Structure 1
Amino acid sequence: MAININAYQEVLSRLKPYNAQLVAVSKTKPAEDIAAFYAAGQRIFGENYVQELVDKQAVLPADIEWHFIGHLQSNKVKYMAPFVHTIHAVDSLKLLQEINKQAAKHQRVINCLLQVHIAAEETKFGLDGQELQQLLSSWNSHQADFANIRIAGMMGMATNTTNETQVRQEFHQLHQLFGSVKTTFFNTQDYFRELSIGMSADYTIALEEGSTLVRIGSLLFGERNYNQ
């Protein structure tokens, strides 16, 4: 077991002044590691792969708040709809509609974060400005058709670079966009408040730029071996 409880406590202490929450990213890690952080008080865990999430949810405590943070295909939503709390990477109206459809089957409301493409890398997913505007306009015009989802905020991934100025600029631009979207579409709602930015290498910058949810994995669980 390679978990680092000391790093966990340090992250929590850094989050506290910002009233931000930690999503402990447990992808590829065994249920025993999650259980150890659960015993230390952590309740929010993030997974990237649907089957892995389903398997872990079945054997871990029922009060864990599961967040799905990976790229999600519409045909996989049904498997986690009975229990997932928040889906971080909603990048199309089609996916939003499918989440609503599957949540309705279980008489649930699922929190959704709209993923915006802010990085220089084309390989990262997310909506561009025009696509975001179109999605929000469609949702706004047909809110009655989306009774089983809640657009709770936005998510973004910065460029994978050691250039902290670039990372800060990308986070800052997303925070500004978040404020503009809130004013335009959610001004009377109190649930549009989550900004999911920041991972192990850049979460301190993200906190300074308005993050409310940081997604941290390797700092807590150790490096991942994808060849196992």
Structure 2
Amino acid sequence: MEFVRKNIETLRLRVKEAAEKSGRREEDIKIVAVTKTVMPETIQVAVDCGLKILGENRVQEAQRKIELVKGDVSWHMIGHLQKNKVKYAVRLFSMIQSVDSYELAVEIDKRAGKLGKVMDVLVQVNIGKEETKFGAEYEETPELIKKISELENIRVKGLMAIAPFKEDPEDVRPFFRKMRELFLELKNLRLKNVEMEILSMGMTHDFHVAIEEGANMIRIGSGIFGPRI
């Protein structure tokens, strides 16, 4: 598992470099280790190296891993969440990063209320308008967040986006910049139950550009655990 440790060392150096370029510190950028298809013992190595946020794409996969991975960690749901899985997700995760509709938010609100819990969420934006990706439409996001803000058992903590894949990460810079603009616009609205603190964007291929454009949370899978099998 030495490769995981080395990958994390390299990642931290690159995060530090990108953060400094944008006038911030390495500590200002939170790393979500994406654990899809990764075995619990491998995840444990990353946790032992100091990573504290783990991101899962599927509820069932998370259920098994949460029991086995030890340490002071929080689990985030980063994949598309179906309404019939919400009752499990609100128990398992400390944050759901993939809220993309009012209907899903209502279901989360209902299930969280039954647990006496306020669920932290990010609203996912389909910044590239890609048919193969989930997320709210960019132009409709402010209105969606205004509606969600009326729900009592949800707290919107920010935005999440997956930029279109481009061979040259510089080509996605405009998408990240638009997300930053939307983030600041929503922050200035000062809505009830909305705390625009997190801008989650950037993955292994393009995270350095995302950080330079304002991301304060990045989601890294293969850059930590190697290519998925």
Distance 2:3 2:105 in 1: 35
Aligned residue for 2:214? 210
3-state SS of 2:14 partner: helix
3-state SS of 1:7 partner: helix
Query: Is residue 2–residue 221 contact of structure 1 (8 Å, CA) maintained in 2?
Result: no
Distance 2:3 2:108 in 1: 33
How far off its partner does 1:21 sit? Answer: 0.4
Identify which of 166, 169, 172 aligns with 1:167: 172
Aligned residue for 1:28? 37
Aligned residue for 1:55? 64
Query: Is residue 170–residue 209 contact of structure 2 (8 Å, CA) maintained in 1?
Result: no
How far off its partner does 1:212 sit? Answer: 0.9
Identify which of 80, 84, 88 aligns with 2:89: 80
Identify which of 157, 160, 164 aligns with 1:155: 160
Distance 2:110 2:15 in 1: 35
Structure 2 regions of 5+ residues with no counterpart? 17-24
Identify which of 69, 75, 98 aligns with 1:66: 75
3-state SS of 2:196 partner: coil
Give 1:1-228 correspondences, 5 Å limit: 1=1, 3-16=3-16, 17-18=25-26, 19-61=28-70, 63-119=72-128, 121-140=130-149, 143=150, 146-186=151-191, 191-225=195-229
Query: Is residue 54–residue 80 contact of structure 1 (8 Å, CA) maintained in 2?
Result: no
How far off its partner does 1:163 sit? Answer: 3.4
Aligned residue for 2:20? none
C-alpha distance 4-45 of structure 1, shift in aligned 2 (>3 A): same
How far off its partner does 1:26 sit? Answer: 0.7
Counting matched residue pairs gives 220
Structure 1 regions of 5+ residues with no counterpart? none
Query: Is residue 74–residue 93 contact of structure 2 (8 Å, CA) maintained in 1?
Result: yes
Percent sequence identity over aligned pairs: 38
3-state SS of 1:46 partner: strand
Aligned residue for 2:22? none
Distance 1:109 1:137 in 2: 17
How far off its partner does 1:219 sit? Answer: 1.0
Distance 2:114 2:193 in 1: 25
Give the TM-score normalised by structure 1: 0.89
Moved more, 167-176 or 127-136: 127-136
C-alpha distance 54-3 of structure 1, shift in aligned 2 (>3 A): farther
RMSD: 2.0
Distance 1:199 1:101 in 2: 32
3-state SS of 1:63 partner: coil
How far off its partner does 1:102 sit? Answer: 1.4
Moved more, 75-84 or 24-33: 75-84
Distance 1:95 1:7 in 2: 36
Q: Which amino acid aligns with 2:212?
A: E
Distance 2:134 2:194 in 1: 27
Q: Which amino acid aligns with 2:33?
A: A
How far off its partner does 1:46 sit? Answer: 0.4
Distance 1:107 1:9 in 2: 40
